[in-house]
Structure formats: C-alpha cells, structure tokens
Chains A and B, each alone.
Chain A
C-alpha cells in the first residue's frame, strides 16, 4: 500500500507572517528528513521566495495564461534542501477570479497525481487566510488538506480572519473536509498578546500549538532571501520553528473549531479593548 501523504494547509491573514512561518516549517521538516512540497495559494505568489534565495518562480496560472494545457513539471521548482516549490499565482490585480485560479491549480495537481509521483511525505499549502470565497476554501475541502493550522497574531483583524477560517472549516467538516490542527501564535512579544490569543482559543474551543516571538533574526534571514532555518540554524528562532515542525510531523488528530458569530466576536473584542486601555492607563 502506498504511504499516506500528509497534507497540511496553513492559513493566515495577509502580512501576518504566514508565508514566513510556512517556509520555515517546510525548511525544518526537510532538515528532519521529510520530502516536502510547499504550495503557495496566494495571488501575490511570494510564498516560496525564502526557500529559493528570494527568487520568484513562474506560477501555475502564468503558465496557464500562455498555453491551454499545463504540464506540472513546468511549474515545480526545487528550493532549499530539495523542497519542491509551487506557486498557484493569480490574475492581474483587479481582473478575473483568483479563487477560481486556486481551484484550477489545485485540481491540476490532483489530476496529474503529482504528490504520489514525487513520493512526497508532506505537502504544505500556504493560503491567503480570509477565505473570501469558495476558491480560497479549496485546500480544506474533501480529499485535499487534512489538517489546517492558522497563523495569527493578537491583532484583531488577524483573529477575525482566523475566526472566518474556522467558519469555513465548520462548513466543510461535515463533508469530509479538513479539520483544525491548531493555532500558531505569531509575533507574540507582549504578555497580553499571548493572553489574547489564548483567550480566543478558549472561546473557540481550539488550541494554540506554539508561540513564535517577533525576532530580528527572521528579518535578517529574509533580507538574504533565506529562511531562518537556512540562514541561522542555531538561533533561538530556528529552534522554535523546528519544534513546531516536529509537532506538525507528529500531529494526528484534528478537530472542528467553534467559531464565534459576528456579535460574539465584537463583544469579545470590545472586552479586550477595555482591558488594553486599562493596561495603557496603569
């Protein structure tokens, strides 16, 4: 029997550090000996940059623009430590339908049995986290990713995006879609940031799998076009990423989150706003 390929989707609001986290996890997994593919599902198509020394790679949709049928070999590129890098890409800003683009790119890979052929252990989808339409929910539908991790800071908009993602997971959970693996808390430097995320997790019956502090090492590495794992493998930050990678590699049981509805979320947020004001005044 063929081995089971672990497919993981990492969602997060744009700019929250989701691609940084995904790339570092991919890099860490590869150093742990896994065969990994990172599949960027964001029209910005810069998910895999730091795995390829800052290089942009031709996207699936760029290739589709040029010709009717795409051979997947043309859009798979090797990056750091043999990681396979793919970018779904998207239309030019303001035209067409990016969601449909993600659907088509993911379908293309399924049709051509790419993951099996490459004998992968782990596929990581790095997806824009607002789940604005059906297309961006594609990776969490039946038969694609099995576990979803969301990267979130304590920023309210990031939490809002995470909550939306939970709604998406709930919707597809009845039809065999992906379940939640947990929250990866990012840019957690202040004590209250941790509290906010923990409180959100508690309210949504979810778990935070780890906390990543904001670190200048990450910025330094990225300026060299590298992941922290590659550029500063012995740093504290790299250790954290490796720890998360190990947890993800070992992760088995995901669950259905309980998202807050609009009102609950607003009430929850205003409660925190008051607390933060108090902190400021103290």
Chain B
C-alpha cells in the first residue's frame, strides 16, 4: 500500500471525509456509517484556511533551516503568525537572543507565471545557501507554481548537486484541499521522501518515543507532557516544533510513535509502522483527565508500561483531583459551545466532563472516521448537541450562538465575544492546556471568564457584527444543501 497517499485528506482511501454539514450530533453519528450525511455541500463559504499555512506553521521553527516560498509575495502572509509563534516559543524556551525565521520568497509575478518560475526558484535556493549555509532548505510550493506546473523536483535535484544543504520540497498548493490539515501531511511527506528517504532502521532506542506535535502546543504543555512520560521512563523525540535535522534522522530509531493531536502525523505514523515496524498509538489529545489517561495508557502499552502508567495516573489524581473537584463545584451545569480544530475540539468536549459542564454545540472543520468514534463517545456522555462541520464560518457560528445562548464559548473568540458571551480558548500556544497539572489552569481560565464577563459585555455593547437582524432568525444551516 505504499505511495498511495498524496497528502490530500479528501483523497484518503480508508476514510470518508466531509467538510460541510450541520445538524444534531446523534443524527450525524447515525448517518455517517451509511456513508450519507444528507445535505453536505456548503454553497456559501466565508473563508477557509490555506493548506500552505499549515505546512509553513509545522516547519518554521525547524532549527538551522531556511524557508523558500515559491509563490507570489502575498502567500508569505501565512508566515506572520507562524513567525510570531516561533518567536514566542523561543522566549518560552529561554532563548532571549530571539530571532526571526529565515524566509525567502521567489515573488512570482505576471511575467514568471507566463514564462515559468523555475529560474527564480533556482536563484532563491542558491541565495538561501550563500546567505545562511543552513542544514536544510524547505521549498514550499504555491497555487501559482502548481497551476503553471513548475518542475520543482527537477530544480531541487539540480541545485542539490551544487550545495551541501538538504533541499526539501513541500508540496502544499492551497487549491488542492479544503482541509487545512492536509498542509501538515505535506510536511510529513516531505520528511519521509526527502530527509529519511531510504534511511535504515538503525538500532532501536528502547525508551524513545517519537512524539509528533502541532505548533499550537505551548511550551508549558510540551514540558508537562515530557514530565508525564519521563516519570514513567519514556524519553521523547519531539517533532517538528523546535526540531532539527538530527531529531528527524532519529525517527527510525524510536521504539514507538504517537501524536499530541489526533489529526497530526497519522498517515506518517502508519508509514513508519509499514517501513520500520515502529508501532504507534492513535488515541486522543491529552486534554482533561479522561483523555490524558487514555492517551498515556495508549503510549504506555507500546512500552510494556501499562501497570506503571496506571499507578502513575492514580498518583497524579491524588494531587490534581481536589483542585478539579473544587472547580467542578463552581462550573457544574454550565452550558458550553466549543469551536476548534478537529482533534482539539473533540478532546476539549470530553474535558468539560471533568467539570460536569454541559455540551450544547460544537463547530469543527472535518468529519471523518476518527470524528465518528469521538462523536459516538460524546453522544453517550452528553446526549444530542448541535454539530456544525465548518472551518470557522462566522455567519453560522453567530447564528447558532444567538440561539443556543451558551454560558461560555471555548474556541476562537472573535465573533462570540461580540455577542457578549464569555469566551476563552484552547488553541493557546502561550498558555497551559494539556496533561494533569495544566487542566487546573484551563479550568480556572474558564471559570474566570464566566465570573468576569465584563470585557466581552462591553465589546458587545459597542461592536456590531455585520449581519442583518433577519439572519439570526434563519436556519443556521440554510446554505448547506
């Protein structure tokens, strides 16, 4: 089954993938196994995330690397956020000599589109080397280079002969996928095809775990996760955030693999299993005690440490439980709406169970087989709730929120805040969210917002969302046909 994966999630063969749907969660989970969600085509979209953004985000913190974007200038916009995260990440890791990521754009213009952009790319890669002499040069493709069919592989092969850097093409043309997580897949495909290539398995390091983590995991979460695993004797090869060529090359030496986010590196882990026999654990994001347990036990089993992990969980509970119980007494019964990436929002939905909160609605970008198992689990926990399969779509979100009137909104808060709803988010690269200890921080964050809604109330009083009043009376899923 090698080489069938193109890095485009819509084309995965072992799962069905939907990006547009709206309705009841129980209805959804009953329809999905029949391979028919019914109305599953959004005829009006307010925005989507580009696949290139996720490829860039995944790799921009890579050590001793230069990033060449083979695109018009505008595509580099996606580097702003990734670079900000990179800078914050450096500070958190104690690196006060903070640097920007080194990005070169080929700046494809009208002339290059007509005549081809290969020469500019050749120049850009050479420039990347002469200016910085990095170990790795990542070349990100774009819609433009994809449409005109520039032969990136040929240019990379040619220039690689001239310079000692490893040149790694990342095929991340935005138009090829509506699912932004495909951008992560492109990054991992690049690792496997250009860095690992035919690297041998090497000697297995028996306590080493490849841990694939999206760039949205904060440093304090990383250390919490490393602490938990370290306490039961597992060392972590943390990839790709703040990673390096050496760490990537170490991947085949690990005993097992896992990911912090369920949608992250899943295909790559399968490939590592097929190629090197490295087993992997694919469970859930470690947010909330229940999920952290599940996640930890999944990994522990691959290291024959199940009993030790169970014991460890008990110990952690004795420390964390009293604090969680205290939060629970204050948060119990609060109604929650969650909006986030697929892995994160499902994990967070289970987390609110720690605090005995009630899930009323969820917005998440993709519905696939993994979503189905998570959804069945949530349906058992909370019964029916409103499910919106959408990548943001603020018009649907505000419509739903104004009807569901949750006590708190967890997710990207831009629009919910303008409705005066207390908000907080879990996609927080700067603050704690995951593992046992950080759960307490997260709980307090939610509680704080509920108890102090003044800021959002003020915003709601002064800011206006752009929709007509009549829209709020319409069916939120009116444009899903």
A residues with a Cβ closer than 8 A to B are 61, 64-65, 68, 90-92, 95-98, 100-101, 104
Contacts and interface: CB of A to CB of B under 8 A. Distances in A.
Contacts of A104: 110, 114
Given A95-B150, A96-B148, A97-B148, A68 B113 contact: no
B110 A91 contact: no
A98 B111 CA distance: 11
SS class, residues of chain B in contact with chain A: helix
B147 interface: yes
B118 interface: yes
Nearest to A101: B114
A105 to B, nearest CB: 9
Nearest to A91: B115
Interface in B84-133: 110-118
Contacts of B112: 96
Interface of B: 110-118, 147-150
B188 to A, nearest CB: 29
Contact of A100 (B114, B118, B149): B114
Contacts of A90: 114
B114 A64 contact: yes
Given A95-B118, A98-B114, A104-B110, 17 more contacts: A61-B114, A64-B114, A90-B114, A91-B115, A92-B116, A95-B115, A95-B148, A95-B150, A96-B112, A96-B117, A96-B148, A97-B114, A97-B147, A100-B110, A100-B114, A100-B148, A101-B114
A65 B113 CA distance: 11
Contacts of A64: 111, 114-115
B389 to A, nearest CB: 32
Contacts of B113: 96-97, 100
B235 to A, nearest CB: 48
Contacts of B148: 95-97, 100
14 contacts: A64-B115, A65-B115, A68-B111, A95-B118, A95-B148, A95-B150, A96-B114, A96-B115, A96-B117, A96-B148, A97-B113, A100-B114, A100-B148, A101-B115
Contacts of A98: 114
Nearest to A60: B114
Contacts of A65: 111, 115
A100 B145 CA distance: 13
A96 B110 contact: no
B91 to A, nearest CB: 42
Nearest to B149: A95
Nearest to B110: A104
Given A95-B150, A96-B148, A97-B147, A61 B110 contact: no
Contacts of B110: 100, 104
Nearest to B109: A68
A157 B118 CA distance: 34
A90 B148 CA distance: 13
Nearest to B150: A95
